[in-house]
Structure 1
Amino acid sequence: MDRDSVPQEITTLVGREVYTNTGVFVGEVEDIRLDLDRQSVTGLALHELNRELFSAKANQARGVIVPYRWVQAVGDVVVVNDIVERLQASNEPADEEEEDEVTA
């Protein structure tokens, strides 16, 4: 789906399940991270996480924020790319200032 094709309320994302492009459940959208100066979505705050994907630090947190640029498609569910590979490759907890990483 082309994100620019039809304007939609960003609140419609809340409650949608998030899956990787290979079909692995990641979590559920709880909130949206916005850049008000640029009037754009920068991240999706997820809860109800797939605990097998995230580090112990993220498992103790309420949820994680996934960078919105990872979103490939939005429909009945949200599809994100390469999150599993990024999480499995990283042995260190994510740094909140790193935009390329999932943050807790």
Structure 2
Amino acid sequence: MAIRVSDILDKPIYTTTAIYVGKVYDVMLDLNKGVISGLIVSDIQNGCLKDYVTDPSKKVVLPFNLITAIGNIILVKPPADSGYGFLKK
């Protein structure tokens, strides 16, 4: 299935357990592989990752392997299930 990057910008991101994470601000591309490598997430201060970052007003990059579905919203694995080792609590 193909999707335009512009179609996922500003989409809300939720965990698979229905907890708000943030909104898609931008995407990171792996130009060598020609794939999306991560989503840049904004609105962290209102989502479940606010306790994991030192400055919730900044953006966070979620690795693309955490994404489980893209539709009207984007679903990602919850922090407890996937470890989110790149974020320190």
Same-fold call, TM > 0.5? yes
Give the alignment's TM-score, normalised by structure 1: 0.70
**Stretches of structure 2 lacking an aligned partner (at least 5 in a row):** none
Q: Structure 1 residues 7, 33: CA separation in 2 closer, same or farther (over 3 Å shift)?
A: same
Counterpart of 2:22 in structure 1 is: 27
- What's the RMSD between the two structures over aligned residues? 2.4
Would you say how many aligned residue pairs link Structure 1 and Structure 2? Answer: 86
Displaced runs of 4+ in structure 1, greater than 4 A? none
Cα separation, 2, equivalents of 1:68 and 1:26: 14
Residue 36 of structure 2 corresponds to residue 41 of structure 1: yes
Identity of paired residues, percent?
22
Distance in 2 between residues matched to 1:58 and 1:67, nearest whole Å = 19
Q: What is the rounded CA distance, in whole Å, between the counterparts of 2:24 and 2:63 in structure 1? A: 12
Query: Which of 72, 86, 89 is the matching residue for 1:101?
Result: 86
> Which structure shows the higher strand fraction?
2
* TM-score using structure 2 length: 0.81
